[in-house]
């Protein structure tokens, strides 16, 4: 498979803290990659560097062979990278539908002064995504009044509006109760199932990682300590010591 995303020699420091150390990774189109690691391991920093929110101190990141390292988040989004956030970044005063319409409007290359945001084609696109994420019943509700799980789904649905090549999900199940995690991931994955897109998701729950990832990349102190299919990567000593803590318990 051809590489969609490549990072070569990526380094990032925050003062004395090493957030990324010589990251070399190649991700093929269509892969479902889970980024795992303890807090501060460098997962979100890596996601933030892919999306242009942070710039690496050294190294380069390419998308479809194009260097995206110096680009701003907006430019990277327009090249086909979308993301959701650990804390959903939504418009609390607007309705669920209007949040989707904002995503639609931003995605449109030519924003219009007179084309109504609530035109039929935009409503159809928004409704189709709300259906896929089982959010249709919340369509007219104000986002500030919604529970956390619904907000998470809306956050991801908005990211999907642009039909990205690469979708980055930052802890999609964080803040969701243990009983709701699997139903939520089922909803997300079934919604994504219709898209032939590459997905990188940061996750702490190893059961979810094993079930939904085709590949696992484990981080520790800004370094990649394991990379492979879930069964193999999760069984390595480094992952068991630094990520899951199993060896420490033994």
Nearest to 197, CA basis, from 222, 225, 161, 233: 161
Is residue 245 helix, strand or coil?
coil
Q: Figure out which of the listed residues 83, 152, 165, 181 binds other proteins, where binding follows CB under 8 A.
A: 83
123 binds other proteins (CB under 8 A): yes
Stretch that binds other proteins, among 37-45, 100-108, 174-182, 212-220 (CB under 8 A): 100-108
Shortest Cβ 233–other proteins spacing (Å)? 29
Does position 18 bind other proteins by CB under 8 A?
Answer: no
Are 61 and 49 a contacting pair, CB within 8 Å? yes
By three-state DSSP, how is residue 207 classified? helix
CA distance 95 to 127: 13
- DSSP, res 111: -
**Out of 24, 55, 57, 111, the residue judged to bind other proteins by CB under 8 A:** 111
Contact residue for other proteins among 131, 145, 232, 237 (CB under 8 A): 131
Nearest to 130 by CA among 171, 167, 99, 108: 99
Whole-angstrom CA distances from 52 to 38, 47, 58, 137 are 23, 9, 14, 34
Q: Which residue in the set 105, 149, 236, 241 belongs to the binding site for other proteins (CB under 8 A)?
A: 105
- 134 interacts with other proteins by CB under 8 A: yes
d(CA 206, CA 57): 31
| Span interacting with other proteins, options 9-17, 71-79, 172-180, 237-245, rule CB under 8 A | 71-79
* The binder of other proteins chosen from 9, 70, 92, 147 (CB under 8 A): 92
User: How many residues interact with other proteins (rule CB under 8 A)?
Assistant: 49
Spatial neighbors of 160 by CB under 8 A, at least 6 apart, are: 82, 129, 167, 191, 192, 195
As given in the structure block, the two tokens for residue 134 are: 């089982």
- To the nearest whole angstrom, how small is the minimum distance from the Cβ of residue 5 to other proteins? 17
Smallest CA-to-CA distance from 41 within 181, 217, 175 is with 217
166-195 residues near other proteins, rule: CB under 8 A: none
Q: How far is the CB of 108 from other proteins (least distance, A)?
A: 6
From 2-10, 63-71, 75-83, 211-219, give the range in contact with other proteins by CB under 8 A. Answer: 75-83
3-state secondary structure of 104: helix
Which residue's entry shows tokens 């709300």? 130
User: Among 94, 228, 236, 238, which residue interacts with other proteins (rule: CB under 8 A)?
Assistant: 94
Q: Which residues bind other proteins (CB under 8 A)?
A: 51, 72-74, 77-78, 82-83, 89-95, 97-98, 101-108, 111-120, 122-123, 127, 130-131, 134, 136-137, 139, 142, 158-159, 161-162
């Amino acid at each position: 498979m051809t590489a969609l995303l490549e990072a070569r020699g990526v380094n990032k420091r925050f003062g004395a803290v090493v957030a990324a150390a010589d990251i070399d990774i190649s991700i093929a189109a269509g892969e479902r990659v889970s980024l795992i690691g303890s807090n501060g391991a460098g997962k979100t920093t890596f996601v933030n560097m892919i999306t242009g929110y942070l710039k690496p101190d050294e190294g380069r990141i390419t998308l479809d062979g194009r260097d995206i390292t110096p680009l701003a988040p907006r430019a990277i989004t327009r090249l086909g990278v979308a993301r959701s956030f650990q804390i959903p970044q939504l418009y609390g005063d607007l309705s669920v539908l209007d949040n989707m319409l904002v995503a639609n409007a931003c995605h449109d290359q030519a924003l219009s002064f007179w084309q109504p945001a609530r035109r039929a084609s935009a409503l159809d696109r928004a409704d189709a995504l709300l259906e896929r994420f089982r959010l249709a019943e919340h369509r007219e509700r104000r986002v500030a009044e919604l529970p956390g799980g619904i907000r998470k789904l809306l956050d991801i649905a908005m990211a999907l509006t642009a039909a990205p090549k690469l979708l980055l999900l930052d802890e999609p199940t964080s803040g969701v109760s243990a009983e709701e995690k699997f139903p939520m991931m089922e909803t997300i994955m079934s919604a994504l199932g219709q898209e032939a897109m590459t997905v990188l998701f940061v996750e702490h729950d190893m059961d979810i990682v094993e079930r939904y990832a085709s590949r696992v990349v484990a981080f520790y102190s800004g370094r990649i300590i394991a990379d492979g299919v879930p069964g193999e990567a999760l069984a390595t000593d480094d992952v068991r010591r630094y990520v899951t803590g199993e060896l420490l318990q033994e």
